[in-house]
Amino acid sequence: MKKNKSTKIAAWFAVIFFVGTLFPYAYAAVDNGLKQLRTLVTVIEYVKENYVETTDTDKLVEGAIRGVVNELDDFSQYLAPKEYKALQNDTQGHFGGLGIRLAKVDGYVTIMSPMPNTPAYRAMVMPGDRVLFVDDQDLKDMELDEAVELMRGPVGSKVKVTLSRKDEKTGKYKTLPDFNFKRERIVPEVVYYRMLPEKVGYIYLVDFSGHSTEEVKKALKELNKQGMKSLILDLRFNPGGLLNGAAEIAKIFMGDHKMIVYTKGRKQEYYQELKTGLKADYPDLPLLLLINQGSASASEIVAGALQDNNRAVVVGQRSFGKASVQQVMPLEGGAGLRLTIAKYYTPNGRLIHRDYRDKSKADEGGIVPDVEVKVEPKEEAKVFMQYNNVIYTPGQDAPKMEFTEKDPVLDKALEIIKEGPEKIMAQKTEASKKETQQPESEGQKNDK
């Protein structure tokens, strides 16, 4: 098998060389690249034949492919079959599973909380249960990601899970009868909302997955029923997601065919404009947007669109600066290639993307807030851990979410709403006018 691969590689180079001799000008154009490719093949062949231990040719070639892609930027990526499948599940916003949040506790894969209305919840799986086996496969010493992968699968497929539960009297864990689950489509929570004082609605959007827009609309509808007068949309620590999701969120608050974002790449076909529709659901609702260093990609598109169109006051810290377009193409064997093909620009032409490999550009890119509030990332993380710490227990009422951590960014946003965000909007408009005015020439000044 390996010999056949070597023969095919050699034959491929022979064909290129032959074509090059027939077309000398074309050959000269690619000659340097071919030399490097020959070197790559030579290295792989030499390693395969002489390395101290037996090597896997497929893994060597895969490593070479990863090296090529990793040289480009931090976001282009070769995806092994398992990674490609996981990416598809993540972007679709659902997967076949049991509906449990897991963690490694004392070396055991442990259930932190079953998600309401899921197979695990209905089967009365309890927080603190340990997962011992999945389809008779021992989870001892297994990494958490591997255990999660075992529990996921096609919707409707069956899986056997063996759990142990702590006896409250003895403190010892007892193995329970096997649970035989049928995997279901699990839709993770991506939106948390509540009403703040003075009828200020608050929505925290976790990411832009396949269900973000419909969940945000549901939250807005419910807050509207409660008499919402203004809104704070929190995109802190939101890593982004689907471009269409970002566009749809922006359309909720902006109409009149306004520009949301545009992309530019090397090819004309990669130039794309995204605009709103004629009418928006909430075009006049006073709106504040919260961002921080963890806000990236789709979050920055929404923030840039609302900021440039003077639709929202942006509060917090400069965003991450990840605004490049990756195109994902399938490869043979179930693998995939995620390649950067373009970059995002805000309606006013600001490049959102930041080149982290070029240290001289550390202060470029990202969305700069209208009102900056500096907070240590670890302090902000405590605010959002409050959402993750909610534990659902079958047979008990859903716990009330308690917010005890200090949140200076949210406090500042509430202060702005109380004073009137229109003041900051007016200042932004005036500053924008001054920037667009052309300075007069000396001749014009003298004529006056």
Question: Which of the following is catalytic: 129, 207, 234, 308?
Answer: 308
Task: Please choose, from the candidates 323, 342, 209, 338, the residue with its C-alpha nearest in 3D space to the C-alpha of residue 272.
Answer: 342
Cα gap 295→324, rounded to integer Å: 14
Cα gap 278→232, rounded to integer Å: 24
Burial (Cβ within 10 Å: 0-12, 13-18, ≥19) of residue 299: buried
- Beta carbons within 10 angstroms of residue 403's beta carbon: 12
Dihedral sign for Cα atoms in the order 357, 296, 336, 260 = negative
How many residues are present in the chain? 448
Radius of gyration (Cα) for the chain, nearest Å?
Answer: 27
User: Contact, 304 vs 347, CB < 8 A?
Assistant: yes
Is 221 annotated as catalytic?
no
Helix or strand or coil: residue 304?
Answer: helix
Question: Which of the following is catalytic: 251, 258, 322, 412?
Answer: 322
Cα gap 354→352, rounded to integer Å: 7
The distance of Cα 120 from the centroid of its chain, to the nearest Å, equals 26
User: Contact, 147 vs 139, CB < 8 A?
Assistant: yes
The residues pairing with 290 across neighbouring beta strands, listed in sequence order, are 234, 315
Cα gap 371→427, rounded to integer Å: 12
- Beta carbons within 10 angstroms of residue 130's beta carbon: 20
Which residue bears the tokens 């006056």?
448
Question: Which of the following is catalytic: 297, 299, 319, 324?
Answer: 297
Cα gap 23→324, rounded to integer Å: 38
Is 297 annotated as catalytic?
yes
Cα gap 244→348, rounded to integer Å: 20
Is 209 annotated as catalytic?
no
Beta strands in 55-134 (DSSP E): 77-79, 95-97, 100-105, 108-114, 130-134
User: Contact, 373 vs 316, CB < 8 A?
Assistant: yes
Q: Are strands 77-79 and 336-345 parallel, antiparallel or unpaired?
A: antiparallel
Helix or strand or coil: residue 349?
Answer: coil
Cα gap 313→292, rounded to integer Å: 14
Give me the active site residues, please.
297, 308, 322
